Amino acid sequence: MARRKRKNTVLEKLLIEDFAAEGKSLGRWQGKVVFVERTVPGDVVDVFLYKNKKDWAEGYPLVFHEYSKKRVEPFCSHFGDCGGCQWQQVPYEEQLRFKQQQVQDALQRIGKLPLPEFLPILGATDNRFYRNKLEYTFGTNRYVPEKEFDKEKTITISERGAAGFHAKGLFDKIVDIKTCYLQAEPTNEIRETIRTYAEANKLTYYDVRHHSGLLRNVQLRICTTGEVMANVIVGEADEAKISGLLQYLQSQIPAITTLLYTINTKKNDSLHGLEPVVYSGKGYVIEKLENFQYKIGPKSFFQTNTKQGEKLYQVTRDFAELTGNETVYDLYCGTGSIGIFLSGRAKKIIGVELIEEAIADAKENAALNNITDAAFFAGDVIDICNDEFFATHGRPDVIVTDPPRMGMHPKLVQKILDIAAPIVVYVSCNPATQGRDLNLLSEKYEVTKVQPVDMFPHTHHTENVVQLRLKI
């Protein structure tokens, strides 16, 4: 039987009515919700549908008939090609308004439980140059933006190399970045210095399809303390080429306080199982939140936005309502950043985390800050927090949980219900899974405070902190 040809549908003059999830906006057509990228409420557009279901559709704009009065001019020339930002065309105040609404909708729709009045979202003072960590990719296959595309032009090999970010939705194409506004200098200077040396010395870029080539990535940490870490990731163990590049990079950019390289011959970009090598410096950087210092290595996890991370932790500490007499359990503690931040107002901090390397970092960070009333344990909370553990370390007066985007495992939710600490502070990077978990916790807890925090301006991501109290 012959397959039916898929019909390409174009909706003409669709009015974009509101913001939607994942950086899209929405309009309505014949009773169907249509999600459209790169649009703002108030735009009138012709939309090409690339997904067309019974009750909803997704598309992208072909023609703008009217531009919304809410629009602003994107400040980055790569906006729309690079996937790093979704909302540069939206005024920051509007972004915050929608993020606040997004958190409320998720908790009400998915949580389905009584909620207090939400505190106003804490916006970023700096909505450019806010990231302390960034990774650039070097690749053979340059993404050609729509505005440059010419069917008559043949792209030569020399034009195909690129240094920047993966194009949105394309694993093998790299947007060639000239200036990135996500991280402060010397971020662009470092990338361009590597590019200059590579072109002058004919260093090859990595070909992700054939898994060959020298230059793969460079990971940068630029801290508010002024310390700068660069980790150059290469796909070949050619010591002479690596040494020449690093020597040049260090001589041209003395602001780099720690320079490392990592040889990665795997087919993926993960540094798991790989050991970065220190070329110069101490091998790590120091970042500060308030007066607390944190040692960050090339594989350490740390809040990506230092200034907003400080606000996030201040909210967490306020919601914990510490008096100096409490034992705080910090679940998913990572490198101990939240527990250490709370330690000055708590009697004792107990951190639990699955990843052993993170626990080693947490212990180092506690020692760095001269914190003696903190203990960190590697393993699963479900296994560790038993009666014997409580007899040794005490039961928690406050539990802080900061899970990944997927939220908490149902067994951990049950464990928290069993422990029944008077206060739980739930820090989330995904209000949808947070709403699901709050619904499960409502068996014993009520939500008493909610505070959204914008960690990533110009993106659709929102952090949210919730205080829960044990029902009387």
Residue 382: the pLDDT is 86
What token pair was written down for 220? Answer: 């940068």
Residue 249: the pLDDT is 98
Q: Where are the alpha helices (DSSP H) in 144-275?
A: 157-160, 187-200, 239-252
9-71: CATH architecture:
Beta Barrel (2.40)
CA 68/CA 2 separation, integer angstroms: 44
Paired with 375 in beta bridges are 350
Contact 286, 227 (CB under 8 A): yes
Q: Which residue has the tokens 């970023």?
A: 124
Q: Report the residue count for the chain.
A: 472
Which residues are CB-neighbours of 8 under 8 A, at least 6 positions away? 48, 49
Residue 152: the pLDDT is 44
CA 37/CA 43 separation, integer angstroms: 12
Can you give the pLDDT of all 472 residues of the chain as single tens digits? 444 445 678 999 999 999 888 888 999 999 899 999 889 999 999 999 999 998 999 998 999 999 999 899 999 999 988 888 989 999 999 999 999 999 999 999 999 999 999 999 999 999 999 999 999 999 999 988 876 665 445 444 445 589 999 988 788 899 999 999 999 999 999 999 999 999 999 999 999 999 999 999 999 999 999 999 999 999 999 999 999 999 999 999 999 999 999 999 999 999 989 999 999 999 999 999 999 999 999 999 899 999 999 999 999 999 999 999 999 999 999 999 999 999 999 999 999 998 898 999 999 999 999 999 999 999 988 888 888 999 999 999 999 999 999 999 999 999 999 999 999 999 999 999 999 999 999 999 999 999 999 999 999 999 999 999 999 8
Which residues are CB-neighbours of 148 under 8 A, at least 6 positions away? none
Residue tagged active-site, from 85, 223, 333, 429? 429
Active site annotation includes 429: yes
Q: Where are the alpha helices (DSSP H) in 322-454?
A: 337-342, 356-368, 381-384, 387-393, 410-419, 431-441
Helix (H, G, I), strand (E, B) or coil at 89: coil
| Burial of 399 from C-beta contacts in 10 A (0-12 / 13-18 / 19+) | buried
CA 229/CA 27 separation, integer angstroms: 45
pTM, 2 dp: 0.92
CA 280/CA 259 separation, integer angstroms: 5
CA 399/CA 350 separation, integer angstroms: 10
Q: Is 133-289 in the same CATH topology as 9-71?
A: yes
CA end-to-end distance (rounded Å), the chain: 66
Residue 1: the pLDDT is 45
- From the list 287, 329, 326, 325, the residue with the least C-alpha distance to 306 is 287
CA 286/CA 279 separation, integer angstroms: 18
Count other Cβ atoms within 10 Å, centred on residue 137.
21
Count other Cβ atoms within 10 Å, centred on residue 15.
15
Residue 472: the pLDDT is 82
133-289 CATH: 2.40.50.1070
Sheet holding 162-166, edge to edge: 174-176, 162-166, 133-139, 215-222, 228-234, 258-263, 277-280
CA 250/CA 233 separation, integer angstroms: 16
Domain boundaries, given as residue ranges, for the chain: 9-71, 96-126+304-470, 133-289
Rg (CA), the chain: 24
CA 333/CA 403 separation, integer angstroms: 9
3-state helix, strand, coil in the chain (%, to 5): 25, 30, 45
Contact 217, 193 (CB under 8 A): no
CA 464/CA 71 separation, integer angstroms: 27
What token pair was written down for 131? Answer: 């990231």
CA 457/CA 87 separation, integer angstroms: 8
Which residue type, as a one-letter code, is found at position 154?
A: T
- Pick one of 3.40.190.10, 3.20.20.150, 3.20.20.60, 3.40.50.150 as the CATH number of 96-126+304-470: 3.40.50.150
What token pair was written down for 327? Answer: 């034992």
